[in-house]
Amino acid sequence: MLENLKERLEIAFKSLRSKGRLESKDIESALREVRVALLEADVNFKAVKDLITKIKERAKGEKVRESLTPSQQVIKIVQEELTLLLGSDAAEIDLSPPFPVVIMLVGLQGTGKTTTAAKLAGHFQKEEKNILLVAADPYRPAASKQLETLAKQLGIDFFSSQLSEPKRMVREAVDYAQTNNINLVVLDTAGTRHIDSKMMEELREIKREVNPRETLLIADALTGQDAVNQALHFKEELGIDGIILTKLDGDARGGAALSMKAVTGQPIKFVGVGEKLNALERFYPQRMASQILGMGDVFSLIEKAEAALDKKKTSEKIKKIKRGDFDLEDFKEQLQQIRKMGPISQLLELVPGFSKIKRAQGLNIEDGELKGIAAIISSMTREERRNPRILNGSRKRRIAQGSGREVREVNLLLKNFLQMKEMMRFFDKKYSALSTK
């Protein structure tokens, strides 16, 4: 998502880099490109107009800092205004007492509501919350079964009722939570293909019955401005406290994410970035603005690493690197931990400047490459992994055949691994020498 927008904005700012100072005509030209880029990304036209007006006023009114080039100054202003457009600060969900806290999820069919209910429960499970997932959709037995399956995978309590009236179903669920000392209840409510008065009335009845702490709309990023219009309708007809935008890892142009807060006044609180149950992330406006402008997102990268990496094992590997004992077996373990962090293509987009290098060099790094490396290493014997220098021609052919790769790929892996190992030793020696001075 947003790749085309990133490229268009990069082009828009390129002409400013050679300028010694900012002229009005330079700003006008760059902002025309920014405007077109945002409209092509399906951002709401009124939001674009307001954003460009604010950027223009600031860009013409501020002096360029001595430490910054004109293009950097404009990008700084654009980043700050984009952050405000996206919602400024990350929006929290209040989980403080009294318990149980009830979170009501609403939305149309096909937006990923049931999966998101499980993802949200899994997210708060990490905070040691006692959670109850509730199937509050009496019309689709498959949805209830799906939620039950997901709850089992997460090890979270699940509740369904034999009652057919939604408001009575949720009342029963909340009473169960109170009796069993559960502090968080997530309601997966019914949805229809299109917004209709009957669905809205049922949702209003549920709200009146259990008074949820928050009502969150689940919207599909792939539907662009339709998602924004749905959010506006739900806000007016039902009242919502925030939005969870799903499928943000897909081919969405980004318009829904960039328009939602400006049009509806409601913040995006979480975003779905994949199909796995851990593929739900808090939404940080400033980080999103940085990614759009190709600046990466180091904070998210660090958070993913902390969540996925085994600190004890990583510490042991660092010690082995310093001793020069790091081998292909260790390398394979580290690859497995990296893959837990998510798709490699998504991780690299969080690295500052990577998107620019990717476009310049035509790089296309996919998860299949990591799987290929892991397959090659897995086809080696333990002795070969611990001492790759014993690998001769016949051993390499056997490994290539066993992993479904080519001998040249085996050779390339060995070459890169040995170079990496030597580089690690070099930097460790340099660091040790400097630290003793």
Task: Tell me the two tokens of residue 144.
Answer: 């209830």
Among 137-151, 271-285, 369-383, 417-431, the least confident range: 417-431
Do 305 and 267 fall within a single domain?
no
CATH number, domain with residue 11: 1.20.120.140
pLDDT of 391 reads: 92
Per-residue pLDDT tens digits for 33-46: 889 888 888 889 99
Q: Is 269 found in the same domain as 203? A: yes
In this structure, are strands 268-272 and 280-282 parallel, antiparallel, or unpaired?
Answer: antiparallel
> Which residue segment(s) compose the domain that 252 sits in?
101-293
Question: How does residue 202 score in pLDDT terms, banded at 50, 70 and 90?
Answer: very high
CA 315 – CA 339 distance, rounded (Å): 18
pLDDT computed for residue 224 by the predictor: 84
pLDDT at 300 over 60: no
Query: Nearest CA to 78 among 182, 5, 164?
Result: 5
- Give how many domains the chain has, as a whole number: 3
Domain identity same for 245 and 128: yes
Structure tokens at 181: 């000392």
* CATH number, position 226: 3.40.50.300
- Whether residue 397 is found in the same domain as residue 346: yes
Q: Does the N-terminal peptide bond of residue 267 adopt cis geometry, omega within 30 degrees of 0?
A: no
Nearby residues of 278 by Cβ (< 8 Å), 6 or more positions away? 119, 122
Please indicate, yes or no, whether residues 319 and 423 belong to a single structural domain of this protein.
Answer: yes
Phi and psi of 245, rounded to 5°? -100, 120
Q: Do residues 72 and 12 share a domain?
A: yes
Distance, CA of 126 to CA of 144 (rounded, Å): 24
Least confident of 97-101, 307-311, 370-374: 307-311
Torsions phi, psi for 160 (to 5 deg)? -135, 155
Position 94 in a domain:
no
Contact present, 281 and 300 (Cβ < 8 Å): yes
- Identify whether 324 is part of a domain: yes
**Residue among 347, 247, 344 nearest 291 (CA):** 347
Are 366 and 430 part of one and the same domain?
yes
Question: Using the 8-state DSSP alphabet, how is residue 98 labeled?
Answer: S
User: Do the domain assignments include residue 169?
Assistant: yes
Same domain, 209 and 261: yes
Residue located via tokens 């897995």: 378
Q: What are phi and psi of 216, to 5 degrees?
A: -115, 130
Q: Which helix (H) or strand (E) holds 104?
A: strand 101-106
Residue of 116, 99, 98 lying closest to 107 (CA atoms): 116
Q: Does one domain contain both 151 and 212?
A: yes
Cis omega (within 30 of 0) for bond into 352: no
Residues 146 and 242 in one domain: yes
Residues 428 and 353 in one domain: yes
Buried b (16+ CB within 10 A) or exposed e, 108-136: bbebbbbbbbbbbbbbbbeeebbbbbbbb
**96 falls within a domain:** no
CA distance 34 to 78: 9
For 217, counting Cβ atoms within 10 Å of its Cβ (0-12 exposed, 13-18 middle, 19+ buried), the class is buried
Burial grade of 390 (CB within 10 A; 0-12, 13-18, 19 or more): exposed
Q: Select the more confidently predicted residue: 359 or 273.
A: 273
- Residue 322, pLDDT score: 57
Residues 262 and 318 in one domain: no
Q: Report pLDDT digits (tens) over 235-268.
A: 999 999 999 999 887 666 678 888 999 999 999 9
Helices and strands, counts by H and E, the chain = 20, 8
pLDDT value, residue 67 = 40
